[in-house]
Structure 1
Amino acid sequence: MTTNWDDYDLFCYVVEHGNFSAAARSLDRPKSSLSAAVIRLETALQVRLLERTTRKLRMTEAGEALFHGMGPLFASLREAHRAAIEQRQGVSGTLRIASPYEFAAEHLAQVVCAMMGRYRQLNIELNVHHASINPLDQGYDMAFAMLESSLPASTIVVRRIVSLERKLYAAPGLLQAHHFPSTPRQLAQMPMLVGLNDTEWRLRSPDGNTERIPLQSPRLVSGNADVRLQAAIAGLGVMRVTNTFAAPAIRAGLLQPLLTDYSCDPLRVYALLPAKRLMPEKVRVFLDILETQVQENVAGRAAPPGWTNRRLMDAASMGNKE
């Protein structure tokens, strides 16, 4: 009997992606074709490989044995095939990236422009998101995450890019109205502009103690750092944001740092990559340029601020002149 190796490969692909839907999206094939492939394989082997429910997929004992034996082999074959194609093509095709707005606007935009200018055969799709994304689930070449803590263990490849320092900022007018707070307790009485997942802000004092500011009734909740920035400039509340993102507003005199003797939890930026032994050339080049650019931004040697922030500063300056 002829062995249909494609059915074995599709079975492993479904297991790697966790379900039929994610595997079908990644392959751009109907889910029914993957289901049919697994059924054919089960029929040929006369054994049940997957237990299917409406909510999740679970391997049987036979399925686990088959996947652990053959999964790495098919993954290596697929990687070798992709590597051979990319070696021929160089940095070309489409690079799909997902990133939080703050990191995309302040750091990725410069790298995207540099890559597109240098490699004429490369197209880039950059999607802004707020929730954590597994690059395997939606077919991204890389996804970025900004977290206060380390990432949990997973099947994806995690590459730490940088830790971005954060501070608290507010408009001069708001600080005058609240008599410029000098302690976390005084700061807690001011209106807050917070991110989607913020429940408290932790501040470390010069003597090493940690003080917590609860965020029970924030004035504004938004996952978009630029929205919070505009609200802060308008004098509507205090925001916590990375120093690089707030730098244009500080230089323009529109924001001032608060409690400068205290330090906030930094944002750790990770690049999440599909678990591949061979990194595609376009991903490798992008990450190399990005790491250099981020370090320059953090060190204050970066190019002028992004267009969005420049436009915001210009508009605010015109309003002040009136």
Structure 2
Amino acid sequence: MNWDDFDAFCQVVDHGGFTAAARALDRPKSSLSASVSRLESELGTRLLERTTRQLRLTDAGDSLYRDIARPLAQLRERAVEALAQGATVQGTLRVAAPYEFGAHHLAAVACRLLRDHPQLKVHIDVEHARVALFERQYDIVFSSLEHTVAPATVVTKRVYSLERGLFAAPSLLAGRAAPAHPDDLEALPLLAGGEDQRWGFRGAGGAEADIELRNPRMRSGNAELRLKAAIAGIGVLRITSTFCAQAVAQGLLQPVLQAWTPEPLKIYALLPGRKLVPAKVRVFLELLEQEAAGSL
């Protein structure tokens, strides 16, 4: 009897179906289906009821899952910890990150990692919405944590603090008095992130101010969409300076309220609460720190 078939069965149940499990495990869906079918044949009972819309455990499947799911999960964890003790960077590194961060800061690190470690594969998902922690068995989930508190089972490492600024198209600002204080922004249309409730600022001499985003002209978690709206003159944008650097250099956007600095975007790496960090994760974070320091 093949214990990999038992593991495949548990993975399909854990992920709610063959397609999701295949994506998470980077295995063909047909391979998982064959494993479960083989297990059902060997046990002489049906474990899953399959339909085009959903997957349901039979009574026998439910009983088996409750008996073996936890031990198999512990075995997988021990295997990961054993690999972490070795120096070989291998396997598949699965990463999720907010678009505003991932699109501009992970590419160089991933390429360096792949060049240096030919036995490694990297999967990176850049998301416009909030990333569900480890829903797809990510090794690292990057998050700003501005609106999310990480569970106690997650290890949190701060890796980046990204400078943000306020920017607007020259056409929007033409004929208007330049804002001198954050409160003056209430007279301008604003482009807010999907979950932004307030913008905080720090001024000269340590002065602090913040504004509530009661009625922004646009609200979207998609940073690229907000950037295009700002270039079109729709509103004032708060965004990381690196993300809009090209638009500023081309004169499509200009800084607003430069005497006041918006709160930086703090990016954290969230890791599953393992005793040992796999080599692929450890090396990736080391390279990311080098990139942040400008030494990559």
TM-score (norm 1): 0.67
- SS in structure 1 at match of 2:258: coil
Are 1:222 and 2:249 matched, yes or no? Answer: no
1:131 aligned partner: 130
Q: Distance in 1 between matches of 2:160 and 2:140?
A: 16
Q: Distance in 1 between matches of 2:186 and 2:116?
A: 48
Q: Distance in 1 between matches of 2:87 and 2:73?
A: 21
1:235 aligned partner: 233
**Residue 149 to residue 85, structure 1, CA distance change in 2 (3 Å):** closer
Amino acid at match of 1:247: A
Are 1:21 and 2:48 matched, yes or no? Answer: no
2:62 aligned partner: 35
Amino acid at match of 1:238: V
**Residue 105 to residue 39, structure 1, CA distance change in 2 (3 Å):** closer
- SS in structure 1 at match of 2:93: strand
**Residue 238 to residue 145, structure 1, CA distance change in 2 (3 Å):** same
User: Could you tell me which of 252, 260, 263 is aligned with 1:262?
Assistant: 260
Map Cα deviations across residues 185-209 of structure 1 (whole Å, 9 max, x no partner): 3321212111111133233343524
Amino acid at match of 1:114: R
**Residue 274 to residue 239, structure 1, CA distance change in 2 (3 Å):** same
Are 1:184 and 2:211 matched, yes or no? Answer: no
**Residue 217 to residue 102, structure 1, CA distance change in 2 (3 Å):** closer
Q: Distance in 1 between matches of 2:86 and 2:61?
A: 30
Q: How does 1:1-322 map to 2 (within 5 A)?
A: 21-22=14-15, 25=21, 32=57, 35-37=62-64, 39-40=66-67, 78-85=76-83, 90-129=88-127, 130-135=129-134, 137-148=135-146, 151-206=149-204, 208-218=207-217, 220-296=218-294
Does the 8 Å CA contact 1:147/1:267 hold for their aligned counterparts? no
Map Cα deviations across residues 92-137 of structure 1 (whole Å, 9 max, x no partner): 22111111101111101111122222222222111122213212x3
Does the 8 Å CA contact 1:169/1:239 hold for their aligned counterparts? yes
Q: Distance in 2 between matches of 1:39 and 1:92?
A: 32
Does the 8 Å CA contact 2:88/2:279 hold for their aligned counterparts? yes
Does the 8 Å CA contact 1:178/1:190 hold for their aligned counterparts? no
**Residue 155 to residue 40, structure 1, CA distance change in 2 (3 Å):** closer
As a proportion of its length, which structure holds more helix? 1
Amino acid at match of 1:259: L
Map Cα deviations across residues 278-304 of structure 1 (whole Å, 9 max, x no partner): 1111111111101111232xxxx88xx
- SS in structure 2 at match of 1:188: helix
Q: Distance in 1 between matches of 2:100 and 2:274?
A: 27
- SS in structure 1 at match of 2:187: coil
Q: Distance in 2 between matches of 1:100 and 1:34?
A: 37
Unmatched tracts of structure 2, length 5 or more = 26-31, 37-47, 49-55
Offset at 1:76?
Answer: 7.0
Amino acid at match of 2:117: Y
- SS in structure 2 at match of 1:138: coil
Identity score, percent: 38
Amino acid at match of 1:196: G
Q: Distance in 1 between matches of 2:61 and 2:269?
A: 30
Q: Distance in 2 between matches of 1:210 and 1:198?
A: 16
**Residue 40 to residue 132, structure 1, CA distance change in 2 (3 Å):** closer
- SS in structure 1 at match of 2:143: strand
Map Cα deviations across residues 4-48 of structure 1 (whole Å, 9 max, x no partner): xx9xx99xxx9xx9xx6359857877784873235558xxxxxxx
Q: Distance in 1 between matches of 2:67 and 2:75?
A: 22
- SS in structure 2 at match of 1:131: coil
**Residue 22 to residue 177, structure 1, CA distance change in 2 (3 Å):** farther
**Length, aligned pairs only:** 253
Q: Distance in 1 between matches of 2:84 and 2:181?
A: 56
Amino acid at match of 1:36: S
Q: CA-atom RMSD, angstroms?
A: 3.4
Amino acid at match of 2:173: L
Q: Distance in 1 between matches of 2:79 and 2:182?
A: 57
**Residue 215 to residue 177, structure 1, CA distance change in 2 (3 Å):** farther
Q: Distance in 1 between matches of 2:77 and 2:185?
A: 53
